[in-house]
Amino acid sequence: MVQFTVPKDSKVIKGKKHPAPKSAINRRTFKVYRWNPEDTANPRLDSYEIDLDKCGPMVLDALIYIKETIDPTLTFRRSCREGVCGSCSMNINGTNTLACTKPIEDIKGDVKVYPLPHMAVVKDLVPDMKVAYAQYGVIEPWIKTETLPPSRERLQSSEDANKLNGEDGHGPAACILCFCCSTACPMYWWKGERFLGPAVLMSAWRWLLDTRDEAAGERLDQLEDPFRLYRCHTIMNCTHTCPKGLNPAEAIGEIKKMMVVRKID
């Protein structure tokens, strides 16, 4: 049987414990991944016991409470706190999601918080997004046209707009590029340097659907590659983990259909 080992300095060790005040009644322990590139210590899992009566209901509220009242050195990204920016994407109890929309009450036992898997870590819960953003740039995520621009904006029917937004708000345009889906995909873990991943391919489908865009053929040419698109094996982790309820696997399947149709035509 194959055995896998990791370097000793990458193994996560037990970290510091921060108990809650004795007066706290509604307690919950948060085990948070910590790593600082400025020292040579191993990554560690610090335990913070907090009083839930003193913080908001979401995991992000707890992280903010920890940073503001217990440990100011804790590092993480956050912005909108409304689930529309994707800044606070992280792995919470084994699932990639948004900390700002993950209720603490939905989690049984200790809350374990790690950075997104597969990506290099900048510090603590902050992943390095450079590769993901570079891959996003490959699909050229803007309207491309050959016809002369109109005197005003390029209009679109409500029916065509619904294809992008989805009548229930779950269309491909709703993707916030949190990359929870890509970092949950085994094929992206194994071939992430060439496979674009579910998040980027979902965005590619968004532009292929846009009736104002006039570069569908060019966009499909960019994706016609053994790795960029076709490494998807429909494992469905991407769809299961999307915090916005989107379906990247379906989007990838639709792009593959377009590839087949244009070859037949």
Helices 248-264/216-223 angle, 10° precision: 110
| Rounded Cα–Cα distance for residues 246 and 83 (Å) | 13
Q: What pLDDT score was predicted for residue 29?
A: 98
Looking at beta carbons, which pairs linking 69-73 to residues 24 or more positions away fall under 8 Å?
Answer: 70/18, 71/18, 71/46
Contact 202, 181 (CB under 8 A): yes
N-term to C-term CA, the chain: 48
Distances (CA, A) of 247 to 147, 169, 197, 237: 32, 12, 13, 10
| Rounded Cα–Cα distance for residues 107 and 184 (Å) | 19
- CATH fold, domain 130-264, is Fumarate Reductase Iron-sulfur Protein; Chain B, domain 2 (1.10.1060)
Nearest Cα residue to 189 out of 233, 155, 145: 233
Look up residue 235 and give its two tokens: 């494992």
Domains of the chain, residue spans: 8-127, 130-264
Q: What pLDDT score was predicted for residue 7?
A: 75
Distances (CA, A) of 96 to 89, 102, 118, 204, 241: 7, 10, 12, 22, 6
Q: What pLDDT score was predicted for residue 1?
A: 59
Look up residue 9 and give its two tokens: 């300095």
Q: What pLDDT score was predicted for residue 265?
A: 64
- The mean pLDDT values, 10 residues at a time, for the chain of 265 residues are 69 93 93 94 96 96 98 97 96 98 97 96 97 96 93 92 90 96 96 95 97 96 94 96 97 96 79
Question: Strand, coil or helix: what is 89?
Answer: strand
| Rounded Cα–Cα distance for residues 241 and 61 (Å) | 21
Q: Exposed, middle or buried, 127 (CB in 10 Å: 0-12/13-18/19+)?
A: buried
Backbone angles phi, psi at 120, to 5 degrees: -65, 150
Q: What pLDDT score was predicted for residue 6?
A: 67
Under CATH, which architecture does the 8-127 domain have?
A: Roll (3.10)
Name the CA radius of gyration of the chain, rounded: 21
